[in-house]
Structure 1
Amino acid sequence: MKITWLGHSAFHIETGKAKILIDPFFTGNPSFDESTRRDATAGLTHILLTHGHGDHVGDTVKIAKETGATVVANFDLGMWLAHKGVTKLEPGNTGGTIHLGGFSATFVNALHSSAHISEDGVSHSLGNANGLVLHFDDEPTLYHMGDTDIFSDMALINELHQPEIGLVPIGDRFTMGGAVAALACQRFFKFGTVIPCHYGSFPIIDQTADTFVAAMDEMKGKVEVPKVGGSISR
């Protein structure tokens, strides 16, 4: 498995059977490296979304139309995307698992909001925010937490899924900050690899992973902090 961080919460996951984008926020993302766009979308099979905020839905509609990739999202967000012209869609909801050929995606809880404000100023709910647990046939189980605070039922997510790789938001203000994110990882999970995200993009969130790394006492050796566009193989 090759995991590439594309800035903010966007990741490219490549396995022998799938090429996956999670939360492809490219356009308008201050930390996105435009030179990575081609590799991120070439041969794409799936786009997975944690929730409906613009910095996570990002370029989904455009990429889906250009590549023919299947979009996986909660039902409310999925129906909104269908209205926008997305035709290959696999909707689900919290607790549900979708089998996608070579891997499955399970929607789990996240403590966050999920909405879109239209041009007339009206806020439209796009379902609950989620994390996504990906089980692969021959690869480590991966958990993208989405945007979230810490919550005690993370223990159940670990019990049910035993994720080996965690993609963890650490930027504070809109998600848990670095110290709390470290507590979540150390109290509730037994990750073999932890990759922080949702930082270093907008100026009002944390710009580095330093606080998180410093607080990851017992798991410090398991933290990987790639540069934007950098990859980790597992």
Structure 2
Amino acid sequence: MELTWHGHSTWHVTVDDTSLLIDPFFDNPFTSVEPADLDPDYVLLTHGHADHIGDVGAFTDATIVGTPELTAWVGDEHGAEDTLGMNIGGTVECGDAYVTMHRADHTNGIGTDYEYSAGPPAGYIIGDTVPTQEADEDAFAFYHAGDTGLMSEMRDVIGPFLEPDAAALPVGDHFTMGPAQGAIAADWLGVDHVFPMHYDTFPPIEIDVEDFEREVAAAGASAEVHALDADESFAFERPYSDG
């Protein structure tokens, strides 16, 4: 599995021969990539805020995945014909990847005045095998938390039962978790690798990302922090170890 961060909450994830783009928003200071540079098989949307769906219209040839309310809006607004509506707790097969949707603690309106509801906000656990409770040392999963505050489901459900190995967590504060609560999330999830996101895009979410690294250490989390540069990739190879 390879993860590439394009700034804010935009990630390009490759699982074997399948590519997935999460929350396409390229009008951010971290990326030099244009939407036309990418050709994902699937586009996963965590929620309907403009800084997460701003460039979804450029990817209507892909399969658009999200809540039924949000995927229907993309179909109506942007003419996307291939959509896959799912909901909290469900797992769908997306090519070589298995995608499980989990709730996020946030709001979820579409448009400047939020005149449309996009259903519940979400995060995704993306794995290379279907999630089960049977031990599989060869399985690997990446958790994109979406826009969320700290929630006990990270400790009680996502960590112990969905078992992500790596997580991308929002740490910019103001609209989501900040460094301290993001560090607690990393600890609760029990992941080996954590990637900060959703920071430094706009003035309200500007932080010193080293604060997150210090908070992870203070929380006693075992996760290694990877603060990626613009459009930087990080690969995990079988048997899974640092790439």
TM value normalised by structure 2 = 0.86
Q: Which residue of 1 aligns with 2:148?
A: 148
Kindly report the root-mean-square deviation, in angstroms, between the aligned alpha carbons of the 2 structures.
1.7
Mapped partners of 2:139, 2:43: distance in 1: 18
Q: Which moved more, 1:143-152 or 1:94-103?
A: 94-103
Mapped partners of 2:198, 2:114: distance in 1: 26
Conserved? CA contact 1:199–1:208, under 8 Å: no
Identity %: 32
Of 124, 144, 154, which residue of structure 1 is paired with 2:116? 124
Name segments (4+ residues, structure 1) moved above 2 Å.
32-39, 218-221
State the SS of the aligned residue for 2:12: strand
1:173-213 deviation per Cα after TM superposition (whole angstroms, max 9, x unaligned): 00010111101111x11211100100011111124312211
Mapped partners of 1:122, 1:200: distance in 2: 24
Q: Which residue of 2 aligns with 1:52?
A: 48
Q: Which residue of 2 aligns with 1:106?
A: 100
1:76 maps to 2:69: yes
State the SS of the aligned residue for 1:216: helix
Number of residues of Structure 1 aligned to a counterpart in Structure 2: 224
Q: Return the offset for 1:220.
A: 6.6
Q: Which residue of 2 aligns with 1:23?
A: 23
Q: Return the offset for 1:45.
A: 0.7
Of 216, 231, 234, which residue of structure 1 is paired with 2:233? 231
State the SS of the aligned residue for 1:184: helix
Q: Which residue of 2 aligns with 1:158?
A: 159
Conserved? CA contact 2:46–2:122, under 8 Å: yes
Q: Return the offset for 1:215.
A: 0.5
Mapped partners of 1:204, 1:162: distance in 2: 32
1:111-157 deviation per Cα after TM superposition (whole angstroms, max 9, x unaligned): 00011135xx4621111101111121476201000000001121211
Q: Which residue of 1 aligns with 2:31?
A: 33
Mapped partners of 2:139, 2:210: distance in 1: 29
1:4 maps to 2:1: no
Mapped partners of 2:203, 2:84: distance in 1: 34
The amino acid of 1:135's aligned partner reads G
The amino acid of 2:87's aligned partner reads N
Conserved? CA contact 2:194–2:223, under 8 Å: no
> What are the residue-to-residue correspondences of 1:134-213 with 2, within 5 Å?
134-137=126-129, 140-155=140-155, 156-186=157-187, 188-213=188-213
Change (3 A) 1:35 1:22: closer
Change (3 A) 1:147 1:12: same
Conserved? CA contact 1:19–1:46, under 8 Å: yes
State the SS of the aligned residue for 2:182: helix
State the SS of the aligned residue for 2:205: coil
In structure 2, list runs of 5 or more residues that go unmatched: 130-137, 237-243
TM value normalised by structure 1 = 0.90
Q: Return the offset for 1:37.
A: 4.4
